[in-house]
Amino acid sequence: MKLKKILEEKTISTIKLAKASGKIIAGLNETKKSVELDKSKILLIASDIEKRVEGKKFELPDKENFSKKEVQSILDKHKYFIEKKPKKKKIPNIKKEIIILKALAEEKGILVIEGLSRKQLGKSIGLIFSTACISIIDLGRTENIFKEIEEENER
């Protein structure tokens, strides 16, 4: 779900509380592992993920922009690379990785929240650098607050 501007501060403070009372994982690779292993409860994806192509910034497309066949194709390719790992480690295409991660999370029924910047995500969990995504594994005392944020955002 896309986060409304009004709810950004509430979400940031809730992430901080979740870190204090629960368990949080940051970073694309670790977050992807937690989603694949069904450990993640909530997935937060930065809205300003960018790929620099001649100095231009791209918008992360929603799952709705892809047909079911295209999403399945992406998931099939992802499963292929899990089963048959390439010898050389390539630099991941962040856009593609995030689309795969988002599709996997939605397929598994994990709440996906977008709208905070990379800097805001990193700062909310006490990092001095930015992060593309965060996975909340144990909600701690914040389970009801995230449900409230989801309901308020739908209004």
Res. 40 pLDDT band, cuts 50 70 90? very high
Radius of gyration of the chain, Cα coordinates, nearest whole angstrom = 16
What digits encode the pLDDT tens for the residues 1-24? 677 777 888 888 888 888 888 889
Q: Exposure string (b/e) for 62-71, b if CB count within 10 Å is 16 or more? A: eeeeeeeeeb
pLDDT at residue 53 above 70? Answer: no
Taking the alpha carbons of 111, 137, 97, 109 in that order, is the dihedral positive or negative?
negative
Report the share of the chain in percent with pLDDT over 90. Answer: 22
* Domain carrying residue 11: 5-154
pLDDT of residue 57: 43
- What would the mean pLDDT of 84-112 be, rounded to a whole number? 78
67-71, 131-135, 150-154: range with lowest mean pLDDT: 67-71
- What would the mean pLDDT of 56-83 be, rounded to a whole number? 58
Side chain identity at 146, as an amino acid letter? F
Angle, helices 94-107 vs 68-83, to 10°: value is: 100
CATH code for position 38: 3.30.1330.30
- Give the SS3 label for residue 32: helix
Query: How many structural domains comprise the chain?
Result: 1
pTM score, two decimals? 0.69
